[in-house]
Amino acid sequence: MKILLVEDDAQISALVIHALRQAGFDVDHTDNGLSGLEKATTGLYDLLVLDLMLPGLDGLELLKRLRERSQATPTLILSAKGDLNDRLLGFELGACDYIPKPFYVEEVVARVRAALANREGIIDQSLVVGELRLDRISRQAHWQGLNATLSQREFSVLELLMRSPGHIFSRKQILLHVWEIDFDPNTNVVDVCIQRIKRKLTRHQNTLADLPIDSVRGVGYRMNKGV
């Protein structure tokens, strides 16, 4: 599988290229939106990994021009612009996934594999693990007949856990991914956020035994594969 990475940050590019090549992908790279557009229009790539803030031509305009030319290469957006409006616009232009920075390269590889596996053209706007579904557009979680609208932080935490069901994320990892801060042993913001999510997903329920998020004592949290 051949991937085009359009990213102007040299350090990020090196990390992503190394991880993707280690995973067996053929990776081409450019650090400019105009050259990215030129390369992407050739149709030689199975997937486009695209930053938004690029010199020459920004990523959203690049994606728009590709779609105007009927170029339907699946596109995964990497961006520091992670608010809802940016996500919505990216999906409206045909992106199949949107990963906010900072991120873990292992997660990028996993999402690249998922995008390639689903490159038949159906854009999935939801994450599903068992009975739990997370709508990436509306930020609503659906579980056992309940609908819960999440805040941006709650959404980001739940999305992180659902991307890798069964994987234990430490509080440090969650802080870095969602709050973009290094570990502070005196903060409990992760635990508070998890509790808010749990309350929203279990309101009016009589038992907490089947909550979809597991707390791993002394380590962190994981999404239960059996939800």
How many whole angstroms separate alpha carbon 180 and alpha carbon 27?
28
Q: Which pLDDT does position 226 carry in this prediction?
A: 61
How many whole angstroms separate alpha carbon 208 and alpha carbon 106?
32
Q: What is the amino acid identity at position 4?
A: L
CATH superfamily of 2-117: Response regulator (3.40.50.2300)
CATH 3.40.50.12780 fits 126-223, yes or no: no
How many whole angstroms separate alpha carbon 178 and alpha carbon 166?
19
pTM of the model: 0.56
In 110-225, beta strands by DSSP E = 126-129, 132-135, 140-143, 146-149, 169-170, 213-216, 220-223
Residue 120 exposed, middle or buried by CB count within 10 Å (0-12, 13-18, 19+): exposed
In 154-219, beta strands by DSSP E = 169-170, 213-216
Tens-digit pLDDT profile for residues 81-103:
766 777 778 888 888 888 888 88
Tens-digit pLDDT profile for residues 173-196:
888 778 867 666 678 999 999 999
What ranges do the domains of the chain cover? 2-117, 126-223
